[in-house]
Amino acid sequence: MERRDYYEVLGVAKDASDNDIKKAYRRLAMEHHPDRNPSPEAEERFKEASEAYQVLSDGEKRKIYDQAGFDGLRNTGYSGFSHMGMDDVFSSFGDIFSDLFGFGSRARRGGPNRGSDLQYDLILDFKEAVFGTERDIDVERLVPCEACEGRGASPQSKVSRCPTCQGRGQVVHGSGLFLIATTCPECGGQGARHSEPCKSCRGDGRVRKETHLKVKIPAGFEDGMSLRYQGQGETGPRGGPAGDLYVAVRVRPHKTLKRDDNDLILETTIDMVHAALGGELKVEGLEGELIVDVPAGTQPGDVITLRKQGVPNLRGGNRGDFHVVVRVEIPRSLSAKQKELLAEFAGRSSKKRRLFT
Ligand SMILES: [Zn+2]
Ligand SMILES: [Zn+2]
């Protein structure tokens, strides 16, 4: 479809008020809404009108369009709706429908309601997160009732059609503008009514139960990440699908090590003689002692890196590095002998001395 001027699309004048624009869009949206008028042509008209409305109802966008047209908008990153599928148009435009019409943009899928998602907070030690671990967790959640197999009706129950939705499982509302269907609140989408609700679950089809789950944390996991277990959340009422379980991981800090992505950082202090002369230094890594080669002439703040001694990569591949940040300690008190030796040392290397005693 050829691109038409937004004012022309809505059939309003260039100086139309916000209210005129809203009214014009409301009329067009009702006429071409795909739930009322399912044809490719109507869909195009609906998208075109929605895009025009999105631009002209936004002061900023409207100004740019008035001054620089479609190209001006494109330069701001706005790409409109023409390339989008209808679902994307609705999801990026959804709130406007509630504003304009007082209800959501589109019918929801029918059938029983899905259960809620659950979150389980798991606290791990630093090392467990670095190398991965397995945990058994207990989660209390709603599961299908065994007595009625999740239907919510006792076995002797007689089934009749739900009077609220006439057995369709959905009810339609929307005061004649759009027809919006939602899950029937009476039967929860089953479309059926049971003469005797199940006694174990009081007709809900679900019971609360503690369930066990083995959770595998992969190596390289970090504080704040979570794992998703599909279908391990609450079961939906009366046979509805289950939500998901999110295991949210918190990691306890380590007493000496810090983590930066896949690198580990350790601060350590050596005395000035070892900094000057260099030598081997033992430090405590995650898996035990590590030997660090301190080069002669090491300066305060120097970083010595041990390659591939850090955190395993979550997605496989190389381990990170282990960085040792060296602090150098200057003695606060010296014996007479030490003073003498240092003075002698200073005398030998006095070419650049700036302090005199
Ligand atoms: Zn039951
Ligand atoms: Zn119903």
Listed in sequence order, the residues at least 6 apart from 62 whose beta carbon sits closer than 8 Å to its beta carbon are: 55, 56
Report pLDDT digits (tens) over 74-104: 888 887 777 777 766 666 565 555 556 544 4
Give the Cα separation of 58 and 311 in Å (integer): 49
Q: How far is CA 280 from the centre of its chain?
A: 45
**Tokens (6 digits) for 69:** 């047209």
144 sits in which H/E element: strand 133-144
Helix, strand and coil in the chain, % to nearest 5: 25, 25, 45
Rounded to the nearest angstrom, the gap between the alpha carbon of residue 302 and the centroid of all alpha carbons in its chain is 38
Give the residue, 182 or 273, on which the prediction is more confident.
273
> Residues whose CB is under 5 A from ligand 2 (ion)?
162, 164-165, 184, 186-187
**Residue 221 CB coordination number (10 Å):** 23
- β-strand 118-124 against 245-251: which pairing, if any? parallel
How far, in Å, CA of 91 to CA of 239, rounded? 28
Integer Cα distance of 247 and 244 in angstroms: 10
Per-residue pLDDT reduced to its tens digit, 113-140 = 889 999 999 999 999 999 999 999 999 9
Section 178-199 average pLDDT: 81
Per the model's pLDDT, the better-predicted residue between 89 and 171 turns out to be 171
Q: Quick one: average pLDDT of 256-283?
A: 95
Tell me what the mean pLDDT of segment 195-212 comes to: 92
pLDDT at 317 over 90: no
The answer for residues whose C-beta is within 8 angstroms of residue 346's C-beta and 6 or more apart is: 353
Task: Write down the pLDDT at residue 351.
Answer: 58
Entry pTM:
0.59
Give the Cα-Cα-Cα angle 334, 337, 341 (nearest 5 degrees): 95
Report pLDDT digits (tens) over 53-68.
Answer: 889 988 888 999 999 9
Looking at the DSSP bridge assignments, the partners of residue 76 are none
Check: CB of residue 151 under 8 Å from CB of residue 239.
yes
Structure tokens at 36: 């009322």
% of the chain residues with pLDDT over 70: 87
Residues with CB under 5 A from ligand 1 (ion): 145, 147-148, 198, 200-201
Look up tokens 């990170």; give the residue: 320
- Structural element, H or E, at residue 49: helix 40-56
Which is more confidently placed, 13 or 40? 13
Please give the distance, rounded to the nearest whole angstrom, from the Cα atom of residue 164 to the centre of ligand 1: 22
Instruction: Name, in order, each residue with C-beta under 8 angstroms of 83's C-beta and a sequence gap of 6 or more.
Output: none
pLDDT digits (tens, 9 = 90+) for 318-329: 899 999 999 999
Q: What is the mean pLDDT of the chain?
A: 86
pLDDT of residue 222: 92
Answer yes or no: is pLDDT of 177 > 60.
Answer: no
pLDDT (average), residues 209-230: 93
Question: For the purposes of burial, counting CB atoms within 10 Å of the CB of 21, is it exposed (0-12), middle (13-18) or buried (19 or more)?
Answer: buried
Please name each of the domains of the chain with its CATH number. Answer: 6-101 (1.10.287.110), 118-251 (2.10.230.10), 257-348 (2.60.260.20)
* Distance of CA 194 from the midpoint of ligand 1 (Å): 12
Residue at token pair 């290397």: 349
Contact between 110 and 189 (Cβ < 8 Å): yes
The bound ligand whose nearest atom lies closest to the alpha carbon of 187 is 2
pLDDT at residue 45 is higher than 80: yes
Distance 91 CA to ligand 2 centre (A): 27
The 10s digit of each residue's pLDDT in 229-239 is: 999 999 998 88
Tokens 């080669």: give the residue.
293
3-class secondary-structure state, position 324: strand
The stretch 191-201 carries a mean pLDDT of 88
CA of 155 to the centre of ligand 1 (A): 9
Q: What are the strands, taking DSSP E only, across 191-321?
A: 192-194, 206-217, 226-229, 245-251, 257-260, 263-271, 279-285, 288-294, 303-306
Percentage of the residues of the chain whose pLDDT score is greater than 90:
51
Residue 161 C-alpha to ligand 2 middle, in angstroms? 8
**What's the pLDDT score for residue 105?**
40
Ligand nearest to the CA of 157: 1
Q: Output phi, psi for 89, to 5 deg.
A: -60, -45
Separation CA 45–CA 100 (nearest Å): 18
Question: What is the distance between the alpha carbons of residues 76 and 64, in angstroms, rounded to a whole number?
Answer: 9
Short-list 114, 110, 115, CA closest to 191: 110
Rounded mean pLDDT, 209-221: 94
Q: Which residue has the tokens 């009366």?
A: 238
